């Protein structure tokens, strides 16, 4: 017996009003050994969350787009709420409970998914489908927020580093259900964990301190030439390998995919991934030059953008793929776009 497929009913995105040009970071740029590294070629723009704007605030703004488009009762039958915050406001919990409460929902399951990184959207689709099948739920709401750009990368000790100009803030939401007859069915999905690489992503400061300790040093990501080389090698391999695995499983040649949407750490990854998939750049949309690296939010924002501007049409097969952190996780999912409700 074939299981009822997980279907994406609709999704929406939110970008903060503060649109920051590359010149903002250029005026603070300091001499740095990594300044010419291909990992840190800046996008033209990125958006920064407003002062005091939280993960939950941004997710609710994206959810408002959904309810404005589909009606105020669109989320009333949500039984599962999954959220992912790049930078949780409170270290011991995420924002799932707050999001559910502020939306007036009474879900049976609320789960904050922290460890999916840039592949969290796909990971959450996988988890949501499993929860809906196990509990007989009706709908799952996924909420993702990237909120570290304004908070971490504009710090006085960090904004002059090459890494600072790459991230942008934003949020996205998606609603899933189990259905044979409407929505955009997930045709295939896979996730892979590579725990041996987890320790290669580190938070550092000068002087050194643990992130919860008071001190003068401002926390940021610890990059070195050796670490960057490892991440480039892993990322170049993992994303196309995972996408090709799913393409093979659904019987579609990678070069025949209608669309390929990935996370967007930088332009070099984007170029290498589409070349590995033998796809032209016209079928590999991204929002990097407008939004920078949105981490987990990158895939749903780009998908929503390409649907809204008419590029992705009903019946198109969309492959999504990403890798997380320094390469400790990768995931890919293919869906057949079924149009807006």
108-167 pLDDT, tens digit per residue, is 999 999 889 999 999 999 999 999 999 878 999 999 999 999 999 999 999 999 999 999
pLDDT at 30: 84
Q: Residue 229 is encoded by which pair of tokens? A: 């080389």
Query: What would the two tokens of residue 172 be?
Result: 């996205």
Rounded Cα distance between 168 and 112, Å, is: 21
Say yes or no to pLDDT of 187 above 60. Answer: yes
Place of tokens 């105020």: 72
Percentage of residues of the chain with pLDDT beyond 70 = 99
Check pLDDT > 80 for residue 304: yes
Query: How many whole angstroms separate alpha carbon 283 and alpha carbon 89?
Result: 36
The first and second tokens of residue 135, run together, are 């509990």
DSSP 309: T
Strand partners, 186: 335
d(CA 197, CA 302): 27
Strands 6-14 and 220-221: unpaired
Whether 307 has a pLDDT exceeding 70, the answer reads yes
Question: How is domain 186-336 classified at the architecture level of CATH?
Answer: 3-Layer(aba) Sandwich (3.40)
Q: Residue 168: which of 301, 331, 337, 313 has the closest Cα? A: 301
Averaged pLDDT for residues 253-261: 98
What whole-number distance in Å separates Cα of residue 294 and Cα of residue 169? 6
CATH code for the domain defined by 6-181 = 3.40.47.10
Q: List, for residues 30-79, the tens digit of each pLDDT value.
A: 877 777 777 889 999 999 999 999 999 999 999 999 999 999 999 999 99
Task: Tell me what the mean pLDDT of segment 316-339 comes to.
Answer: 98
Using the structure block, give the residue that is written with the tokens 């992503």. Answer: 201
Q: What is the pLDDT of residue 91?
A: 85
Confidence of residue 2 (pLDDT cuts 50, 70, 90): low
Range(s) of the chain covered by CATH 3.40.47.10 = 6-181, 186-336
Query: Are 122 and 299 contacting, i.e. CB atoms less than 8 angstroms apart?
Result: yes
Mean pLDDT across the chain: 95
C-alpha distances in Å from residue 197, one per residue of 29, 123, 201, 325: 30, 18, 8, 9
At residue 1, does pLDDT exceed 80? no
Q: Report how far residue 12's alpha carbon sits from residue 61's, in angstroms, rounded to the nearest whole number.
A: 9
What does the pLDDT average to over 165-190? 96
Q: And the tokens for 314?
A: 């009903």
């Amino acid at each position: 017996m074939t299981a009822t497929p997980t279907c994406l009913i609709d999704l929406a995105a939110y970008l903060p009003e503060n649109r920051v040009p590359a010149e903002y970071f250029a005026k603070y740029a300091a001499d740095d050994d990594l300044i010419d590294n291909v990992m840190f070629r800046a996008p033209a723009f990125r958006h920064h969350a407003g002062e005091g704007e939280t993960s939950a605030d941004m997710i609710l703004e994206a959810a408002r787009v959904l309810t404005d488009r589909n009606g105020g009762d669109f989320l009333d039958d949500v039984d599962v709420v999954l959220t992912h915050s790049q930078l949780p406001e409170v270290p011991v919990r995420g924002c799932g409970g707050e999001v559910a409460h502020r939306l007036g929902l009474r879900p049976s399951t609320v789960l904050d998914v922290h460890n999916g990184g840039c592949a969290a959207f796909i990971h959450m689709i996988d988890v949501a489908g499993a929860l809906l099948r196990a509990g007989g739920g009706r709908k799952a709401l996924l909420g993702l927020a990237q909120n570290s750009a304004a908070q971490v990368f504009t710090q006085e000790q960090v904004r002059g580093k090459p890494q600072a100009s790459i991230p942008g803030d934003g949020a996205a939401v998606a609603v899933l259900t189990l259905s044979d007859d409407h929505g955009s069915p997930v045709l295939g999905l896979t996730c892979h964990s590579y725990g041996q690489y987890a320790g290669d992503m580190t938070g550092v400061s000068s002087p050194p301190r643990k992130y919860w300790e008071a001190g003068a040093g401002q926390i940021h990501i610890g990059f070195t030439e050796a670490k960057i080389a490892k991440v480039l090698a892993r990322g170049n391999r993992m994303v196309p390998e995972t996408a090709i695995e799913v393409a093979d499983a659904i019987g579609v040649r990678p070069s025949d995919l209608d669309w390929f949407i990935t996370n967007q750490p930088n332009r070099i990854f984007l170029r290498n991934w589409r070349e590995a998939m033998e796809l032209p750049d016209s079928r590999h949309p991204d929002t990097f030059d407008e939004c920078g690296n949105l981490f987990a939010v990158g895939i749903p924002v780009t998908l929503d953008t390409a649907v809204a501007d008419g590029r992705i049409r009903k019946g198109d097969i969309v492959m999504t793929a990403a890798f997380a952190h320094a390469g400790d996780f990768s995931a890919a999912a293919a869906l057949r776009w079924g149009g807006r409700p």
